[in-house]
Every structure is written in C-alpha cells, then in structure tokens.
Structure 1
Amino acid sequence: MPLHNRDIAGQFDEVADLLEIQGANTFRVRAYRNAARTLRDLPHSIIDMVEAGEKLTELPGIGKDLASKIETIVKTGKFPQLDKLKKKVPAGLTEIKGIAGLGPKRVEKLYEALGVEDLKGLKKAAEDGRVRELSGFGRKTEENILHELETRGSGTRRSLLSEAESRAEPLVDYLDSIDGVDKVVVAGSYRRRKETVGDLDVLVSCTKNSRVMQRFIDYEDVEEVVSQGETRASVILRGGLQVDLRVVASSSYGAALVYFTGSKAHTVQVRKMGQEQGLKINEYGVFEGNKRVAGKTEEGVYEVLGLPYIEPELREKRGEFEAALDNALPELVTLSDIKGNLHNHTKASDGSATLREMAEAAKAQGWAYLAITDHSKALRIANGLDEERLAKQIDEIDALNDELSDITLLKSIEVDILENGSLDLPDTILQRLDLRVCSVHSHFGLSRDKQTRRLLRAMDNPCFNILGHPTGRLIGSREAYPVDMERVIDHAKENGCVLEINAQPQRLDLDDVYCKIACEVGVKLAISTDAHTPHHFGFMRYGIDQARRGWATAEDVVNTRSLKGLRELMTR
C-alpha cells in the first residue's frame, strides 16, 4: 500500500505516546509531536520530497535525526524505533490510550499504580472502584471509562474529525470518479461534523451497471474486507477506520441521508412526527400506506412533516424541531463569513513563519486582518515574549503594515492567565495592543472553584478581550480542566469578553454545547485557528463546523466583522 503523510505522522504520534507512557523527557516527546503535526499539515507529499532528494531539515520541527527516520520509513516501510518501543510497552496500553480522556500520562499512571495493561484490566479496575482513587482521576472519570468501554462495541477507537476527513475525502473523490456513480455523500456523525468519528457511512447513488462495489473493495487504502454484497459492503481502512458503503436508489436517496446522517434521537423524532401524521418514514422514503410521498430529497422529507430543511449540524435533538416549527432555525455561520483570524503564532515564539509570511498567506485566504498572538513569557517552552520583545514586535508590525496592502496585521499577544488570575504581562504594554487573547497553559489541577475564580479575575482586567481555548482540553489526550463554564459565560457577558472557538482539530474548544449556551445569552465568539504555520489557516473550517453545531450565526462571531467593526468590539 502507498504511504501518505498521515501514515508517517501517525507513527511519530505513536512513538510520542509510547515515550510519554514510559515517562521520557518532555522535550523529546514534544519533538515527535511537532514533527507529526508538520507532516500531517504538509500540503504536499513528504514521499515525493524524499524521492526528489529535497532537504527535509528545512521543514518546521524536522532536524537531522527525525529527517533520517522519515527517509528510513519512506525507503523501507519500517520504523525500527517504533518496533522497539512496542516490545517494551505492553501492547494493550496502546488500546487504552484510545479511550477518550485517557492520554499517555494517565495510561502510565494506570499501568504503574494499578497494573492495568489492557482493556480488560481497565474495566476490572474501574468496576472495582480503584480508578477513582488515583490522583487526578475521580468518580466522573471512572464513570466515563466504563461508559465508553460499554458503548465502543468492537473496540474501534474514534478518530478526530480532521483525521477522518483525511481518509474520507480521497475516498469520496475516488468513488465519484467511477463510471455510473451519480452521488456520493458521507453521512453519520461525519456529516454532522462531530469532533470525533467512529466509522464512516457512505451513501452512493449509481446506475445498475456501475462497478462501484468492486472498485470500493479494490481501493488502495483497504486493509480488510469485512463483508460484500450487491448493495452494501464494509471494509477496514489502513489505520483502523471502518467504512460502510451503501448503494441507494435515487428515489430513496434523501430519506436515506436523513436516516443515516442521524443522530439517532433526531431520526426517532422524525419517524415519530411521521406516525402522528399517519406516515411511515424509513431509509427508503416517506409512505402514506403503500404510496411513496417523499424521499428523493432531504428537503422533501422535512417538507412533508411541515418543517423547513434542518442542517445536518443541528440534528442532535437539542431544540431543532421546536425552532423549525416556530420558523426560528438560525442562519448558521459559514466559512465565507469570516473576515480575519485572531489567534496566530510566528517564529517569535513557537511558530514556523515570519510576520510577512503569515500576512501574505492570510491575504491569500481573502482575509482583511490577522492578529499576531505569540506566547507571553510565562510559557518558556514556547519561547514566550517578555515586555521588551513584545514592544519590538509592535514596532515591526507597525512598519510592516505600512508596506502591506489589502491585509492588516493586528498587534496582539496570547498572554498567559497566571494561577492567581493576573495576566502575564503588565497593563502598560498590553494597552498598546489591538487586542489580547488570554489563555491558561498551566496549573490545570486547580479545584473547580479556584480555576473558575482564576478565569473570572482575569476577565475583570480591562485588557482582557478573548478567552483562548476556554477549557484547555485536548480531545482524546487531556480532559478539560475543572471549571464552572456557565459561570464563566455569564461573567463574559457582564464584562464584554469574547470566548474563542479554537479550530485546532485536537482542541475545538469551546465545544458545541457551551457554544450554544454562549450564543443563547449573547456572548460573542471568535473562531480562530491558533495557527503555528500558514498551513494551519485551513483549520478555520473545523472551527466553523463547531460553531454551526453550537447554533452560531455570523452575528455571534466577532471575526465576521470588518476591521473597523472588530476594533469597536475589542474596545472595553
């Protein structure tokens, strides 16, 4: 099978996980994670670069040692270091780190303190109440572990939406190119744009003589064919993602999309509403007796129920039916609404590009402005800026803005919120900036009350504009720190503060639930990429997905404003 950037990135991430489970040096672990991120975000093939003899060391985060390892993988298909690590670490631990909320450090603690080596041992420890006794776990974590073990079925781990997309989009293009294929849509949680995806449900409409089934199982990334029939087949792709393909008649395609897009609660309500009107609704259509009255399009399915079309992101049975009946569904924010990006890093801290390179790339995106938010001094591992270095950057941005056209760099900082709730830099320098993104990067273990008061105190500072990645979570590896987010949202409203939807695929923070709550009370959102390279600007679409799942409109999002409108909102 041909290698892809994501495959090598996945191996580097696995090395980082195993090293972290072993308690290896933090900087060593970070090097592999940064390299994995570079490979995953690279817009061209690393394999082509190796074959062309290009210098891999020119890529961000790739030194001589890692470049050599990449070349070995490309040329031999093997990664000796990963193989050695797998022999030292019980194989079952890699399955455990697939459980949501159990990152490498927690897996290490389970292994060292409780002797947990596999999923069976984890379940036994949780059922016995031993997990909650570990520092940093607690009853809720134990309950979450048991819940996931009960609901994850075959043990297939959920993938980040971005990872699933990297598999799904090439597959859709491949299927769409097959003779006789008319429509190809990936349904399920993927279409609802949930932050993680269990498997992919692909619906295809095609002519009778199309060879789509055979071509599907012949796809280059297929590792195992689970089943194959005339209208349905299931395969496992390399990397473990299961894909179910269904061939659907064009007359039923809309009904099938409603059914297989879900969520389950949403489709149950659709069927219930149909029954109340004497209709039978299933994946084949809407029937009145034996007569099909709708089903070719999704719009037709909803229309026969007296409803307007409900966007896939809203189909979670969280009020969408009531809003539809009241003709009050939101006009959801779109990628084209975005006028700029308010959280980005350069070489001055832990980014990989210069001010000019970031500005030109933002201009190419069609944005009118880009905030430069390098880290502040407390984050030493990221080469954070002190007062003197920030003052120098302010002058550099002013000078560069005099040269640039059709793009404005905003002077900003991602300033750390310290343990006591104060900001990492003095107000005298912060007041010189256009805006401030304020974030927590330390002391995640504070109690819920202390963490909440920490954020509330920070928001009381007139220099505070945007709360960056508000809960600090990393999906699948670090849980949100304990905080009363509803209280934080209320305080943000009182102080005119903005909450960020961080579009980094591993963050997507705020989540959709708190995003919806924020919108309901009138707190504004900023959808930002937290870009460390221009390639990360593409993450904006994931932030849009999260905002749409949270019912956000363009009016709810500050960076849909013109530069003038944004400046007005950033003035407290």
Structure 2
Amino acid sequence: MMTKEKIAEALEEIATLLELKDENPFKIRAYQNASRSIEAFGASFSDLQNQETLEKIPGIGKAIAAKISELATTGGLKFLNELRAEFPSAILELFSIPGLGAKKIKALHEKLKISSIADLQAACESGRVAELPGFGETTQTKICNAIANRAKHAGSFQFGEIAAEAEQLRSDLAAHEDALQVSVAGSFRRRKEIVRDLDFIVASKSPDTITEFFCAHPFVEGLIARGPTKTSVRLKSGIQCDLRVVTNAEYPFALHYFTGSKEHNIVMRNRALNRGWTLNEYRLGPAPNLEGRGDSPESPVKDSKKAARGRSRAIASVKIPTIRDEPELY
C-alpha cells in the first residue's frame, strides 16, 4: 500500500538516481525539497492524489505534483521505473558506506563496473579502487573498514547492551550550555527489547554548536551524514545514532513523532485531521483550508476564531507523558 512515507522515499530515491546521472543540481534539489515537504504534509492521503492541491504545497511544482499524484493514485511511477532501469538494483546500497557520495559511486560504477557492496569489497581487496583518480590508498582503506564495520554491526542491539551508552550521551548533551531540552526517542524511548538505532532530539537555538559537540563526542567512531538539522554517526559500540536539532517550539512534536512507531504516527495524524488539525514532526495547528474538501468527519472544517482559540488552549495544555515500560499500542 502506498503511504505518505513511501511517496517521500520515492522522491528521495529519484533525487539519488538523478545524482548518479549527474543531472542538474537544481532538479535534484527540487526532488529532495519535495520529499521533505511531503513528509511534513499534514492533510489526508486523498489530497496526495489531487494535483491541484499538491501544487499549493511549498516546494512542489507542477511536474513533481503530477508524479506524486501518479504515485498516490496508482502505487507506481513510470519516471522512477525508467530511472531504476538505468542502474543495477543494488547500486543504492553503496550510499550506506560512509564517505561515498554520488560522484564517487558514479566513478566506481563507470570505471570498475561496481554495482554492489560485494563488488566494492572485491575491488578494494584487489587494490583497484586505490588506482582510481580521486581515491587513493587512504580512501580505499576507509572503504574497506566501513564495509567491515557494516558487516560486523549489521542487525540489532539488545536494549540492555546500549542503555548505559545512550543515557550517558543524553546526559552529556543535556549538560551542554546551548541545549534547552534533550531526550532519546525512537524504539529506545519505547523500551523495546531490540533497538536498531538511537535517536536524539535536542531543542536549541544553536544547532551548529550542538552538532559539533555531538560529532566530537568520545563515543562517536565515525560520521555517516551531516545536514542542517539531522546528523548521523556510528558509535564505537557499532550502533547508528541520529541527532535532530529543533527549536524549543518544535521539540514536543519532534519527540512525539520520532518516538512513535510508523503505525502510531499514522493513527495520530488521522485523529488530528478528523478534528480539523494538522500534526507532524514540527507542529500541531489548523489544517490547511483546501478547496473542494467540504466539511466531513474525514476532512478538516474551515477554521474560525473560536476554533483557533480552542486549539491554542488545547495545544498549550499538552504535556508530554512519562514513557512507561508497557506494551506498544500501535
């Protein structure tokens, strides 16, 4: 079944494949921005099938809106299938290796016919990667180590194995002078027996400072990816750790979103919609007044001053509950 999350993933995949084709950077960025816009989109799934509605979303133009509508309506996209046909199916795995971006992967594929991690490992072991311009012995060694770490740490971690490490890192982040609020989210916060990665949510007015501190922490073994609000690292224990820095106002919503399972978030988003609100990882607020929606239990009603005041009071009264060691609801 096609979902909002899958549509966002499809747009991100298009951007990645366009990078491999060395397409116009503005075109690539347009799909990346559209993916983020869809992730934050708070209206109902039926709106994703309506091209006119999609074109009203910031960051989404007519051409991309048509593709999103096709994905939502048919569950597939001809343009994406055509892009996929130009590359081996396993080539996207190479993006999981730290230090490998689109340009390097393109060079590996074109010069050495590398299309999977297995191919890359064999090329490194034979010394062929070091011979490529822009790579060298140092890069080849780093790639070999990254592949070895990936194999070593594939899978999951028991809660007890990483609990002390997670709590210490949370405590260190909370002690930073620029950190306003800090929590561990995800399956760790839900106290799941098996944890695949760690998610930290930090509220701060200085995201760059927090990110620098996080990347330089003694627990960190290597950087996987770094962006303006999200950074991913590999800890020395082997687990991947993601940091998201948000504003103080966004913090409760980010904590809720990144703590809940996908199913839980879908249920909560639908509950908000049925009450005329939009809920995502950044905010809870009035749902957009989209033309042709009408007033029904499944769609937001038109906003009013009275309703807005009621929502403001409701939002102000929201308190984040203590997470107990209980079975997951969704």
* TM-score category (smaller protein): 0.5 to 0.7
Q: 1:20, 1:29 within 8 Å by CA — same for their partners in 2?
A: yes
Query: Structure 1, residues 365-418: CA drift from partner, whole Å, max 9, x if none?
Result: xx9x968xxxxxxxxxxxxxxxxxxxxxxxxxxxxxxxxxxxxxxxxxxxxxxx
CA distance in 2, matches of 1:540, 1:134: 44
2:166 to 312, 318, 323: 312
Unmatched tracts of structure 1, length 5 or more: 159-197, 202-255, 263-309, 316-328, 340-366, 372-436, 440-465, 479-501, 514-526, 543-572
Q: Which amino acid aligns with 1:8?
A: I
The residue correspondences of 1:25-44 to structure 2 (distance < 5 A) are 25-42=24-41, 44=42
Q: 1:51 to 1:85 in 2, by over 3 A?
A: closer
Q: TM-score scaled by structure 2?
A: 0.53
Shift of 1:337: 6.3
Q: Which amino acid aligns with 1:258?
A: G
2:180 to 338, 342, 346: 338
Q: 1:528 to 1:131 in 2, by over 3 A?
A: same
Q: Which amino acid aligns with 1:31?
A: A
Q: Give percent identity, aligned residues only.
A: 26
CA distance in 1, matches of 2:117, 2:51: 43
Matched with 1:144 is 142
Query: Structure 1, residues 232-291: CA drift from partner, whole Å, max 9, x if none?
Result: xxxxxxxxxxxxxxxxxxxxxxxx7424x46xxxxxxxxxxxxxxxxxxxxxxxxxxxxx
CA distance in 2, matches of 1:121, 1:311: 34
CA distance in 2, matches of 1:9, 1:512: 28
Q: 2:50, 2:69 within 8 Å by CA — same for their partners in 1?
A: no
Q: 2:109, 2:115 within 8 Å by CA — same for their partners in 1?
A: yes
CA distance in 2, matches of 1:134, 1:85: 26
Q: 1:540 to 1:137 in 2, by over 3 A?
A: farther
Matched with 2:160 is 258
Structure whose CA Rg is larger: 1
Q: 1:139 to 1:314 in 2, by over 3 A?
A: farther
CA distance in 2, matches of 1:21, 1:89: 9
Query: Structure 1, residues 80-134: CA drift from partner, whole Å, max 9, x if none?
Result: 1110011111223222223232222211111123222222321121112222333
Matched with 2:229 is 504
Q: TM-score scaled by structure 1?
A: 0.32
Unmatched tracts of structure 2, length 5 or more: 182-202, 216-221, 237-243, 258-330
The alignment covers a number of residue pairs equal to: 222
CA distance in 1, matches of 2:159, 2:246: 31
1:115 to 113, 116, 121: 113
CA distance in 2, matches of 1:114, 1:338: 49
Matched with 1:66 is 64
Q: Which amino acid aligns with 2:160?
A: V
Q: 1:52 to 1:34 in 2, by over 3 A?
A: closer
Alignment RMSD (CA, Å): 4.6
CA distance in 2, matches of 1:36, 1:475: 23
Report which structure shows greater RCO (CA 8 Å, sep ≥6): 2
Matched with 1:491 is none
Shift of 1:29: 0.8
CA distance in 2, matches of 1:132, 1:46: 50
CA distance in 2, matches of 1:29, 1:91: 20
Matched with 1:56 is 54
Q: 2:130, 2:139 within 8 Å by CA — same for their partners in 1?
A: yes
Higher helix share: 2
Task: Provide the secondary structure at the position in 2 that maps to 1:338.
Answer: strand
Matched with 1:220 is none
